[in-house]
Amino acid sequence: MVPRDMDAANQDADLLAQFAQGDRLAAQTLTDRLAPRIVRFAARMLGDRAEAEDVTQDTMLRLWRIAPEWQDTGVPPAAWLFRVAANLCTDRLRRRRSGPAEMPDLPDDTPGVDAQMMQSKRAAALQSALAALPERQRQAVILRHLEGLSNPDIAAIMMIGVEAVESLTARGKRNLTALLSGQKEILGYEDEH
């Protein structure tokens, strides 16, 4: 289950049912509960804010459209949304491969930056390293370590077994470590601890 407890999943399902009955307040609540997670996930998958917003809007639109026919199949709305968003991101990444590659900007190495700048540099460095990961590893790492989902939740979203999720996240983290190891001094985190 993607939500941390059944209550959250049931609340989402109830809100979706209310929306299907024409309750627009339910749409607002659902948007506030779910859309921020989708936009974060898509932004990290794609490394592009504008594309992430398009994916989020498209994902939510599909939720609105399916609402009248929504049935409890054991997949909560949040998991369903992540699955749709992942597929939309995959489509965009495939199209992108046929064109010029878009990589996130690497952080510059300007010395003397403050803590806020350091955070930004680290975040940008991680985004750059994530972009270099195989897509499935990237997805698993983002969901596990940035969105904080459990392995069973991720397994439901990616439609694979829990062991496969563990394998993907472990390999993803190893690759990230290798990619970021050369930037420790540039990012200066050693000086901070």
The Cα 167–Cα 133 span in angstroms is 14
- DSSP H helical ranges for 68-161: 77-97, 115-132, 135-141, 151-158
Is 146 a binder of other proteins (CB under 8 A)? Answer: yes
Question: Given candidates 83, 96, 171, 173, which one binds other proteins under the rule CB under 8 A?
Answer: 173
Is 134 a binder of other proteins (CB under 8 A)? Answer: no
Binding mask 28-67 for other proteins (x = CB under 8 A): x--xx--xx--xx--xx----x--xx--xx--xx--xx-x
- For other proteins, the closer of residues 3 and 47 by Cβ is 47
**Helix, strand, coil shares, percent, the chain, to 5:** 75, 0, 25
Q: How many degrees, rounded to 5, is the angle at CA 126 between CA 122 and CA 131?
A: 150
The Cα 148–Cα 130 span in angstroms is 16
Q: Which residues contact other proteins by CB under 8 A?
A: 19-20, 22, 24, 27-28, 31-32, 35-36, 39-40, 43-44, 49, 52-53, 56-57, 60-61, 64-65, 67-68, 118-123, 125-127, 129, 145-146, 173-174, 176-177, 180, 184, 189-190, 193
